[in-house]
A and B are shown apart, each in its own frame.
Chain A
Amino acid sequence: MPTLTIDNQKITVPEGKTVLEAAEELGIQVPHFCYHKELGAVGACRMCAVTVQEGSSKGLKMSCLIPAEDGMVVTTDDEQSTTFRDRVGEWLMLNHPHDCPVCDEGGECQLQEMTIASGHGVRRYAGQKRTYNNQDLGPFVAQEMNRCIQCYRCVRTYQDYCGGRDFGVMGSRNRVFFGRFQDGTLESDFSGNIVDVCPTGVLTDKTYRFKSRYWDLQEAPSVCPHCSLGCATIPGGRFHELQRVRSGENQLVNGFFICDRGRFGSGYVNHPERPRQARNNEQLIGMDEALRQLDVEARGLIEQHGPEAVLLLGSERTSLEANWLLQQWAKKLGCREPVLAAHGPRHQAAQVVAFDLSDRLASLEQVRGSDLVLVAGADPLAEAPMLAVALRQVVRSGGQVIVYDPRPVELPCEFDHQALSPLALLDFLTAGGSDGQHVRELLQHAESPILVGGADLLGVEGLQRLKKMSLELSNDQRPCLIYPLLSNPNSFGAALLSLPEQDDLLTRLETGRVKMLVCLESDPLLEAPESDRFSVALTKLDKLVVLDYLPTPLSVHANLFIPTRTPVESDGTFINNEGRLRSYAGVLEPGLPISVAEDGGHPPREFSTVSPGSDPLSASRILQILLKDDSSLVELHQQMVADFPRLAGLTGLTPSDAGVRVADAAARNVVNIDLPEQPVGTLQLIVSPARYGSDLLSRYSDKLEPRFSSAWVMMNSQDAAERGLQEGDKVILDTETGSFCLPMICHPQLAAGCALVENSAALASLVPGAGISYCEVSREVSHE
């Protein structure tokens, strides 16, 4: 632990810290560009010059490159360093186009700040400015190369950290250019991060182009609702419109970066068809009236038909508070306990994670620091993109990643892939075969092994086998932790609150005793398998009540519809896949965005104290009104902790916290499910989420549309050949859910005996995580 003196202040920092980091800890701002907390330093910008007065090497040094030494004396404000920084600032501005007024970075531009910090004010150089031609980098990132100061941050982020291959640095001497070889969309799923790291306006968010200035944005720390990882985000909005999302910092979870799905998947908040007014069948009504009707009718039905008459359905994408309040409302109404997730099998798998695995969960930070990761039955880029980046860090620091998955998994790093069909994967997890033995041996010898398991593909059975494996591989020196992937932002939370061994949604609906179904931010038609069984069950209902913020198909059928707020418009808590309580704060008040309402024209010229579309209330607020409960969020959390001691971490949790893990729980020992026998001649059906547009929120986000995939069915080349099929053929896919006519594509890396489809807007009725099922693929019979 070296102790050094910077500007007459003494500080002790851990070994290996640089002088720049030490100065920052003291609150001394040394101007810098190329140094970034996550990316480290390269010494490219020469901006962070300080003078070392005492130390092993004296004189003017780059503070980001010299490690802190014991007894070092450093000054940052002496004549030599300030003059040097002033010159460097001036020199970096030589070719700058001076177009801050039309630059989206203006106001949050590090170049603006550092130029002022370095002292440079008036341009003295009278020569010509170097210019570049820009490239079209696709729908997400806009480029203006004239503003570049060659700090190399973009390349270090895109290539080194996130593993993208199509963006790099070209040219020589003062022609250094950052971009692609030619115009074209950036291929990486993490391309948006170069917008965040770029210290000037070279790379800006195209979807946010010219929308707002940083100082006009309403921002608050939030949690990404697009997958179960719970990455830290900072959404920013203005005029009731969520205009952009940038990544927050959470070292335990995502670090500094987020994926493109989380960054550009914010359109659902401003969706033009988003329902913003309560509705009784066709008639628009006020919120008070809607809540009164809901309360009166629910009570009436229970009085008349007993506790089975009303069924409350919670959700894996609504907040922990709302789910808990739904349970309280059920108690108050006297109806049976609510079902907290529409998707039964996924919910059961999440319960295995929330209870059986709760004492062996790794954090994403631990994954990044691991030396051997076994990924079993998971496609990180589709299910939890930031895990893929974490796996890259494993490989970058010399570790190894082994993937056992039927799908042709892609990762932004080197890894070993073994394609096993879902059934074979389960065998593999119970040490089946030489392969299983070999992997176990590797894990046994690893220093900090992590098992990543996708709950969708492994299911209850697979997760329990994974746990057994983890127990076997743990020893006294180190545990072998599990990093499960769930499907929704609050899957863990819904599972944690649920009662053991309760009937699932369809079983209860099909008894016919349910007269009224209340769906809280949940659409079983889209989010659960067997949607046709569900739609039949719907016809038996007297009354369908939907509370949601998305224009889901179910909300169209609703007898009573009540609009709710999105996570960016309300305060709440999710529990991410590693059991971490992640709290988020509301950024915007709900309302019809001016850009949507006025179509680019000026806002209405009228006086009004209410803005249109400001009706929606957060789900938890609606339930509090129904419960006639006026307690604040803090009081609510106290009640929840008293009810569920595992949630003790809620006390004092704020949105800017990294989040606290829920307490461990005893295993629930869910009864093993019998795996169905595979009929001869069938293929194992694998439904995988598409990278974009599988979760409902990204499906309703227009910004992501360029990334939406079409529907297809994928087969192993050998299986296809056996059936006489060729790539591009139209085939009939016969599944338990129904038949689909899809184009077929072949892939040699798909496990043999499997057929893969992707769940997306184009193929919405096949939902991942429904368990093992079989299908047949045959050539489409032409009717000619």
Chain B
Amino acid sequence: MSDPLLTLVLILAKLGVIFGVILTLAAYLVLAERKLLARMQLRYGPNRVGLFGLMQPLADLIKLLTKEDFLPARADKWLFLLAPGISAVTALLTFAVIPFGPPLELFGKTVPLVVIDLNVGVLYFLAFSSLAVYGIALGGWASNSKYALLGSIRGLSQLISYELSMGLAIVPVVMMARSFSLTEIVMAQEKIPYILLNPVAFMIFLISILAESKRIPFDLPEAENELVAGFHTEYSGMRFGLFFVGEYINLIILGSMVTVLFLGGWHGPWLPGVIWFSVKVLAICGFFIWVRGSMPRLRYDQLMHFGWKVLLPISLLNVLVTGAILLGMG
């Protein structure tokens, strides 16, 4: 087998595995979230479909697929149909650069456990997380509904505001690892994860990705009690499902990014790298769910105030301080 062909086959295989795992994970993340939230509220959560409600995601899928695909009057048809796709696909594509395990020896070849090990992986991640905004903006605008439009406008301004801090929180990591490649960033944390070296950057990043994922306490774009369902008010059936699934894929991606950037990726004692990676990602996702169960929603002015007047100065300061220390250490 020629080398490029083998690389292609390996990439495709990795893609297939990742797609399968991520989509299943996303579906069961929904179930896990519902179960956890229910327990936090002294309920059981879904427990009727299958054992402990384990078939609930399947039932949801069948429901979403069989529901009417509704197109509002005077909506922008093509944009309306396209938007959920953008949302889901950009989320999936981001995973291409995430290393989820140590390189593997296969057929006498070192296979990195990442779909494509870009040397500018961090920039790729930033670029795609910005692109995801289009799904929301276009979906909300094309719906021809005031609630959807308001939701998408909120989503836009919120993402723009928090992307800055998020980017600035990665800068110290890049400076410390001296690389834009995510694999190398993980390698650099072999001894000490960056969460211990730079906890401020970790906190900023965590808060920013909460906002990025439009989850409580930053779920203003889909604030139910103000905007019905925000940007996806007019969506139904599997198109709504795509938005929904996109959101949970995004959750996994962001969890992976936290793991990669601050928690040392696949590094860990005793267990294989992939397992360590998964455990860390799931822990982050679990924390997100916990936050959702515990926090109230921010007011819009509080959101903006916090983003621009608190988070951004702190992250700038953090970059300066980290830079100074690194410079001092030589």
Chains A and B share a contact (CB less than 8 Å): no
